[in-house]
Structure 1
Amino acid sequence: MTTVAADQDTPSPINPSAVAIIRPSVRQHSIKVEICSPAIGAELSNINLADATQDPDLIAEIRALWLKHKVLFFRDQNISPLEQQLFAAQFGGLEGHPMAPSHPEADKLLMLYRNLDPSKPKSFVEKASRENLWHTDVTFKPAPPRGAILRCEQGPESGGDTLFSNMVMAYENLPEAIKQRIDGLYAKHSAEHSFGAQLPREERHAMAAKNPAAEHPVVLIHPETGEKVLFVNSAFTTHFSNFFNFEDIRYGQDFMPEAHHLMNYLTSQAAIPEYQVRLKWRTNTIAMWDNLQVQHYAVADYGNAPRKMLRATLAGTPLT
């Protein structure tokens, strides 16, 4: 990792020349920033997130680093669920998951608990399929989450890492012909074939009616940075909404294969290692990622070991 001071890396957007007056427990020195990979990710230290809510300049500094590096990691953050929720709320409104329960002490924290006690009945989040595929969270909503702040309460002794992939870089490195082809395209995102696949037909239809498919641009303009983002993912994106080609089609069978091949090519970009960073979790590690710029993959290599994670979800706005 490459280490830089935060004030050298990204100045506070509120007042770059001022030094905030804060409690010693918040930050012993200036924030220490360790670059995790050339493509994405930075680890921040010399900071206590439980007290960071008292310093708006510090929150603004973290936000600037978040936008720049796309995912931030914090180690040794021994905070309560409510303190995690309060920290997350400094970056925007919070929302629960549309299909999973919240934590009893913090109503906006999603419990991602795995393999706790095989002898007891499992909740939805325990029995749901694992997230070991590249995805962006909840893109089947008209307003996908803006970001997420995930804390490890308990992890396996080994395994259970999470990978993050930079979808701004994925778009930038596409061949120009592909960029031209996808310019102006929209795609449908649905939960029916993912969350609904395990349900009986009537329940699946009811779930789909309650959560209808959403349409998003294939190339998203990030609302804060203005960067172009490749915005399709394997978990929820089903098909292009407005793909057509009347010039090169010989027969009707030529039409859909071209669209399918292009979609498969685009969704595969997240898996390119040069766009990625890998996080090895420890208890009280926190990851904070930009859900519009980043895809992630939770590695399911830990067998029956318990894995307890709490996620705060930043509410988004409708995408155009």
Structure 2
Amino acid sequence: MKIEKLTCHIGAEISGVDLSEAARSDDLFAEIRAALLEHKVLFLRDQDIARADHVAFASRFGALEDHPVVGSDPEHPGLVRIYKDENSPPDYFENSWHCDATWREAPPMGAVLRCIACPPVGGDTMWVNMARAYADLSDHVKEAIAPLRARHSIEATFGARMPEEKRLALKAQFPDAEHPVVRTHPETGEKVLFVNGFATHFTNFHTAANVRYGQDYAPGAAQLLHYLIGRATIPEYQVRWRWRPNSVAIWDNRSTQHYAVMDYPPTVRRMERAGIVGDRPF
């Protein structure tokens, strides 16, 4: 197995590996898992594997989860088909910096995404290292955000375009989750900036230490949240991947965000993703 870094802070390409073999080999899987913790997102080419092997490999990380809006392949639970063609409506959830499903009490640990078909150019995906985004914050900002918690909502994102009855039913099924603004990675111990496009507001900002006048809270808190979410847009923390059929990306959802570049319509882009159940951030 050969590992080649793609940028200074995030991403590595692995060659000489067949993921169908890694699904059955403890030693090979352990090497891949260690590389994922180090590089945060891994890329592989030429993985012409069956859906069953895709699911089997992803399951080595943990149980797979379904998606409440998109659903999963009926023959392979946990495998979500993200298929776009010439007639697909615009999608404004993928093409924003986000960490998957932080509206869950326990967001996914990560995901394994395989390209089935893609345009000859365009449709890249980008990832960003949110541990580095936190590490480079000034000390006074780190001190200010250390105790803060934020609300994350599926209703305000996926639910926003739904009729009111369906939107409220979605929120009842998945009530807004609250997470620390800075989480600790459960395996590496890194501090990670953990706010993204699903975060709507801080839940414990309005204290005597932070608020003396109304403007301190609104728009003061909103401006701080906007600044923190904007850290994902810094190029030095990012890697960009150009897809080809049978390319695979494996990412750690606990320490990264990603952005699917929506520059390819009206052409075809078909991806299949296995999302891995995670734990509650702390």
Q: 2:190 aligns with which of 216, 220, 227?
A: 227
Task: Give the count of matched residue pairs.
Answer: 282
Q: How far, CA to CA, are the matches of 1:278 and 1:319 in structure 2? A: 26
Structure 1 residues 7-46: aligned runs within 5 Å: 31-46=1-16
Structure 1 residue aligned with 2:274: 312
Q: Indicate the structure whose relative CO is greater, using CA pairs within 8 Å and at least 6 residues apart.
A: 2
Q: 2:50 aligns with which of 80, 92, 102?
A: 80
Q: 2:257 aligns with which of 280, 284, 295?
A: 295
- Classify the secondary structure of the residue corresponding to 2:96: coil
1:238 maps to a residue whose letter is: T
Q: How far, CA to CA, are the matches of 1:273 and 1:249 in structure 2? A: 33
Structure 1 residues 1-320: aligned runs within 5 Å: 31-115=1-85, 118=87, 128-234=91-197, 236-246=198-208, 249=211, 251-320=213-282
Which range moved further: 106-115 or 136-145?
106-115
- Structure 1 residues 269, 55: CA separation in 2 closer, same or farther (over 3 Å shift)? same
Give the fraction of aligned pairs with identical amino acids, expressed as a percent.
Answer: 50
Structure 2 residue aligned with 1:20: none
| Aligned-pair Cα RMSD in Å | 1.4
- Classify the secondary structure of the residue corresponding to 2:257: strand
Contact 1:188 1:241 in 2 (8 A): yes
- Classify the secondary structure of the residue corresponding to 2:271: strand
2:33 maps to a residue whose letter is: R
Which range moved further: 303-312 or 248-257?
248-257
Contact 2:93 2:157 in 1 (8 A): no
User: 1:200: how far off?
Assistant: 1.0
User: 1:252: how far off?
Assistant: 2.2
Q: How far, CA to CA, are the matches of 2:55 and 2:61 in structure 1? A: 11
- Classify the secondary structure of the residue corresponding to 2:187: coil
- Structure 1 residues 216, 250: CA separation in 2 closer, same or farther (over 3 Å shift)? closer
Greater C-alpha radius of gyration: 1
Q: How far, CA to CA, are the matches of 1:86 and 1:54 in structure 2? A: 8
User: How far does the alpha carbon of each residue in 1:197-232 deviate from its partner, in whole angstroms, 9 at most, with x for none?
Assistant: 111112111111111000001000000000000000
User: How far does the alpha carbon of each residue in 1:39-97 deviate from its partner, in whole angstroms, 9 at most, with x for none?
Assistant: 10000000111122221011011000000000000100001111100011111111111
- Classify the secondary structure of the residue corresponding to 1:309: strand
User: How far does the alpha carbon of each residue in 1:10-57 deviate from its partner, in whole angstroms, 9 at most, with x for none?
Assistant: xxxxxxxxxxxxxxxxxxxxx111110001000000011112222101
State the TM-score, normalized to the length of structure 2. 0.96
Structure 2 residue aligned with 1:15: none
State the TM-score, normalized to the length of structure 1. 0.85
User: How far does the alpha carbon of each residue in 1:158-187 deviate from its partner, in whole angstroms, 9 at most, with x for none?
Assistant: 100000000000000001110000011111
2:32 maps to a residue whose letter is: I
1:72 maps to a residue whose letter is: L
2:260 maps to a residue whose letter is: A
Q: How far, CA to CA, are the matches of 2:92 and 2:209 in structure 1? A: 42
- Structure 1 residues 223, 80: CA separation in 2 closer, same or farther (over 3 Å shift)? same
- Classify the secondary structure of the residue corresponding to 2:78: strand
Q: How far, CA to CA, are the matches of 2:209 and 2:190 in structure 1? A: 31
